[in-house]
Amino acid sequence: MANDLFSPTQLGSIHLNNRIVMAPLTRNRAGEHGVPNDLNVTYYAQRATAGLIITEATPISPLAHGYPALPGIYTEAQIAGWKKITDAVHAKGGKIVIQLWHVGRISHPSLLPDGALPVAPSAIKPAGQAFTYQGLQDYVTPRALEASELPAIVQDYVHATKAALAAGFDGVEVHAANGYLLDQFLRDGSNKRTDNYGGSIENRARLLLEVVDAVVKTAGADKVGVRLSPVNPFNDMHDSNPQALFEYVAEALNRFNLAYLHAVEGGIHGGGKADPFDFVAFRKHFKGSYIANLSYDKARGNAAIASGHADAIAYGVPFIANPDLVERFKLDAPLNVADSKSFYGGTEKGYTDYPFLAA
């Protein structure tokens, strides 16, 4: 049988009915104390026909937050809230993994316990502004993490992984992309350390590999994915040699036998122009299943699967506006257009009220 977007596949222990993956999408609509609410349940359940849902990025601890109204995955109440979501998705035959997030320097003291300074590999203030409950505020200069603090951050990932399994998720995705903490350690534009976590490519990749190792030991490798964004300049990110860095990382991840590697193939969120990068060469360094993400439509998605470049394709904005994206692709039906004004925060408008195809 020919492989295309509609053929089933297996990512580790996760069986997908199709290869159309819902990309992680921050929507800023969680309840108080980072607890998912009934509106979130409806939103994810509506999209359960995706082969796999990857949730919005979800902070692993109180100090991992960087935006208002995010769900967390570290308290009992949050576990209970997410359990309603995983139950609803599973009841419709869907699969769902949670994306584990630490924002690092992309935060603001007003979003952190006791007005704490955001943390980072190095005390470098990113360009831009933080979204806070008081509106946009300039980023602050973060506090450089001591090497002695890093084991506790690894343990936060372990705790969040246990919480995710308790909440009924089919797996977890370690978010090491888009300018957040693990990506800040990877790229030399944000990592100027002189200890074992800075300098060489091997050193800069060390924290990510320690996190993945610990998460794999907690959940089992067949339930763990990793997301990378080799050249996304979003959040003031750059690297002097992204090809060498990320080919090393892809190769190093092979030792874990992960469920999948998920890559953002370029720049997203209007972060500026992405550096040139050979994603075909990069992909060849990773021996496992690969999810490609960025500006794929149905035809490009099918071509990437047919050529063997990707095993599944992640779609972001199309899933915001089309809860029944799989059905629309199948029928070549027109797609709803997404309203960008309602992407972040708000009510059911632009969240759960997009129309389905008429039955």
How far apart, in whole angstroms, are the C-alpha atoms of residue 119 and residue 181? 8
Task: Kindly report the number of other CB atoms within 10 A of residue 356's CB atom.
Answer: 12
DSSP bridge partners of 226: 174, 261
DSSP per residue over 129-170, as a string? EEEETTEEEE--PPEEPPGGGHHHHHHHHHHHHHHHHHTT-S
Helix axes 150-166, 206-219, angle to 10 degrees: 30
Backbone angles phi, psi at 241, to 5 degrees: -150, 70
| Whether the Cβ atoms of residue 98 and residue 78 lie closer than 8 Å to each other | no
Task: Kindly report the number of other CB atoms within 10 A of residue 113's CB atom.
Answer: 10
Identified catalytic residue from 43, 157, 180, 296: 180
Query: Is residue 157 annotated as part of the catalytic site, yes or no?
Result: no
Strands (E) in the chain, as ranges, are 9-11, 14-16, 20-22, 52-59, 96-101, 119-120, 129-132, 135-138, 143-144, 171-176, 224-228, 260-264, 290-293, 312-315
Residues with a catalytic annotation lie at 180
